[in-house]
Amino acid sequence: MFPEFEDVVSRLDKGQLATFPGGVHPQDHKALSNQTQIADLPLANEFVIPVRQHIGTDGALLVRVGDKVMKGQPLTQSNQPFSVPVHAPTSGVVTDITQHVTAHPSGLNELCVVLKADGQDIWAPLSPCDDYTALDKTALIEKLCDAGISGMGGAGFPTHIKASANNEVEFLIINGAECEPYITSDDRLMREHAESILTGIDILSYLLKPKCVVFAIEDNKPEALDAIRKQVVSRPHVRVVSIETKYPAGGEKQLIQVVTGREVPRKGLPLDIGVTMFNVGTCHAINDAISFGKPLIERIVTVTGKAVKRPGNYRTRLGTPVNHLLSQAGYLADKQKTPQVIMGGPMMGFTLNDAAVPVVKITNCLLVPETHELTQGEDERACIRCSACADACPATLLPQQLYWHSKAREYDKAQEYNLFDCIECGACAYVCPSEIPLVHYYRKAKADVRLELDEKAKSEKAKERFEARKARLEQEKAEREEKHRKAKEARLAAAEKPARKAADATADPAKDKVAAALARAKARKAAQAAQATGEKASAENAEATTADAPQATEKPAGNKKAAVAAAIARAKAKKAAQNAETAETPSDQVVTPADSPAPATAPANDRKAAVAAAVARAKAKKAAREAEQQSAPQSDSSAPATKPVEESEQAPAPESPDVSAEDSAAEAKKKRIAAAVAKAKAKKAQKENENKA
């Protein structure tokens, strides 16, 4: 189950490799694209650089629209451990920062920086490092992170996280398996840049201090094996192993199993079993970043398939739109009955929904098949339980059971069959004689389960917040009652003495407070009375409070509490007065100012204007509602839609003289809002009308 280090090494030395269960042997079609040298792709005019191209969080944007950037200049910065910056692929001007379709199977938009190339292609100042051993570990890792390097094999895991592991690393495995059919970018890279890859490995070895470095290459790439073997002559600690060609040997877990015989524990990391793995492309990028100071702004992309005229590998700047790449490689539209572009290989790649999708850090291949080149089953039939899928599954799952449960949406059962241990390699669907898109079912099930968990967490949080709010409201209520009780006591105490006495004692701060409290209490009482009685609220009452309130405000300054109380009292009074005037306003509209100190600081004019506007709107709302009710029974379909608009526009009119006296700006705002309200109402009325119709 868990071979010891010495056993593994001795087996490796003898050339004995373990294997993984299952696997399939699709035709590799690699000769289509690996015959020619890596070609430099001419610059595109416009680049679209997604802010996030790796697993983790976005970096913070460093540029703004209109900024001029140099080639290699960072566009974002890493401010969290799991974020990796992206860089300008060429010099030019940032023309837009917008949502743009990105390299994701969903074809949905994500935040991207759009860069217009100036054609100069001038590097930002670079800081090459001739001797990485002179730098300490932290500095190197920081350099890796700043260079924006994330795994280039497929998943896009930030490299600096992997490289800064503190666990003891027994095996550093370099993944040159490239097991997917058609893809040859790593193959060509190994053939042409073996030295660079191995320098990258040296840097990683320096960082991780592995006991053993294993370079694994599938045996269908003899040229790459030769090229690497030539380079390792000077590095005897690197063991080059040729592994059996079997899909998905290049999967991280599978390659670890093949090389070491160990299995990554579920929910664990390779590091838990002393193994860490890097893709050859990542090693090359590490060398570029450290030795030459170049950030990750380009990668090798295989453009292949029989619907391109010049299949091969292209050194492509990140952010290059796919259609530029395709036009350079010679897309043959007439070879495809229905256009189709696959990013990645035929087994795990995804179809693009738009050719404007940019090349990103994980884009290793663009596959443009001619019609019938890929045998893609569209003809799903009943499962015959042949278990060919189980025999092909490298994770020894039971794909068939997963399929039944996923299809029936019995997700708990699907999870019982370890749905989430599926690596989505596609071997099961590849062998399925009934052409069932098994992986698609699993993906859907996984997405559903994840969302369900999210929902659950969210509802848990909502519940907590609801409970917290309830508790808070209860506490507030209790406090209020306590205050009322105290106020009542104070009033009773005050009632014993003559009212004048209290007024005379203005010089005394203590009495000041009592007076303020009294004023406040009175104001509140008045407000409450106004609220409760609505129409019955008498003008007298309102006058009384307004009379009281100025008294309170006239009290000597320096007593903040008194001032606040006074302000509140004033507001209350005003409201009470308004309530009395416009009795139709619903009583629940009155805000309890105790909740916030804002009204005390807000300028009186604004407040007045706003209140007036609110009243106007409320009226408009009411009018609109009435209009709706009136017009609803009418059979004329156009009437309800237009009538509320007219009515609600007229509605604020009676209030306008007051407001214009106050502030014309407030009026303008009010009118605009009223118009909006009217629009909303009209819309609502129309909708209701439609429903009725």
Within residues 397-436, the interface with another protein by CB under 8 A covers 397-398, 400-401, 417-418, 421, 424, 426-427, 429-435
Our CB check for another protein shows the closer of 85 and 251 to be: 251
Q: Which of residues 287-306 bind another protein (CB under 8 A)?
A: none
CB of 493 to another protein, least distance (A): 32
What is the rounded CA–CA span in Å between residue 300 and residue 543?
Answer: 82
Our CB check for another protein shows the closer of 385 and 486 to be: 385
Q: Which of residues 100-159 bind another protein (CB under 8 A)?
A: 101-102, 104-108, 110
Give the range of 171-179, 221-229, 311-319, 608-616 binding another protein by CB under 8 A: 608-616
Cα distances from 360 to residues 47, 234, 578, 593, in angstroms, run: 11, 34, 63, 54
Q: Where is 238: in which H helix or E strand?
A: strand 238-243
Give the range of 41-49, 57-65, 130-138, 437-445 binding another protein by CB under 8 A: 437-445
- Closest of 274, 5, 288 to residue 165, by C-alpha: 274
**In DSSP terms, which residues pair with 172 in a beta bridge?**
213, 276
What is the rounded CA–CA span in Å between residue 187 and residue 636?
Answer: 74
Q: Which of residues 230-289 bind another protein (CB under 8 A)?
A: 253, 257, 263-266, 268
Exposure of 411 by Cβ count < 10 A (0-12 exposed, 13-18 middle, 19+ buried)? middle
- Closest of 191, 185, 192 to residue 153, by C-alpha: 185
Judge whether 439 and 424 are in contact, CB under 8 Å.
yes
Q: Which of residues 163-192 bind another protein (CB under 8 A)?
A: 181
Residue 145 is labelled as binding a ligand: no
- Full DSSP string of 554-593: HS-TT-HHHHHHHHHHHHHHHHHHHHHHSTTS-GGG---G
Our CB check for another protein shows the closer of 81 and 586 to be: 586
Residue 129 is labelled as binding a ligand: no
Q: Can you tell me which of 681, 685, 686, 689 binds another protein, judged by CB under 8 A?
A: 681
- Per 3-state DSSP, what percentage of the chain is helix, strand, and coil (rounded to 5)? 50, 15, 35
Judge whether 292 and 277 are in contact, CB under 8 Å.
no
Other residues' Cβ atoms within 10 Å of the Cβ of residue 20:
22
Q: Which of residues 28-57 bind another protein (CB under 8 A)?
A: none
**Contact characters 623-652, another protein, x per CB under 8 A:** ------------------------------
- Closest of 454, 274, 284 to residue 361, by C-alpha: 284
Our CB check for another protein shows the closer of 386 and 539 to be: 386
Our CB check for another protein shows the closer of 456 and 486 to be: 456
CB of 278 to another protein, least distance (A): 21
Residues in contact with another protein, total (CB under 8 A)?
Answer: 125
Q: Can you tell me which of 68, 230, 469, 485 binds another protein, judged by CB under 8 A?
A: 469
Q: Can you tell me which of 341, 580, 627, 651 binds another protein, judged by CB under 8 A?
A: 341
Residue 389 is labelled as binding a ligand: yes
CB of 323 to another protein, least distance (A): 4
* The dihedral formed by the CA atoms of 632, 633, 638 and 644, expressed in degrees to the nearest 10: -40
CB of 114 to another protein, least distance (A): 16
Residue 179 is labelled as binding a ligand: no
617 lies in the binding site for another protein (CB under 8 A) = yes
Our CB check for another protein shows the closer of 5 and 404 to be: 404
Q: Can you tell me which of 161, 174, 390, 666 binds another protein, judged by CB under 8 A?
A: 390
* CA atoms within 13 Å, Cβ hemisphere of 523: 28
CB of 421 to another protein, least distance (A): 5
Q: What is the largest CA-CA distance in the chain?
A: 109
- Length, in residues, of the chain: 693
Q: Which of residues 14-33 bind another protein (CB under 8 A)?
A: 20, 24, 26
Residue numbers in the known binding site for [4Fe-4S] cluster are 383, 386, 389, 393, 422, 425, 428, 432
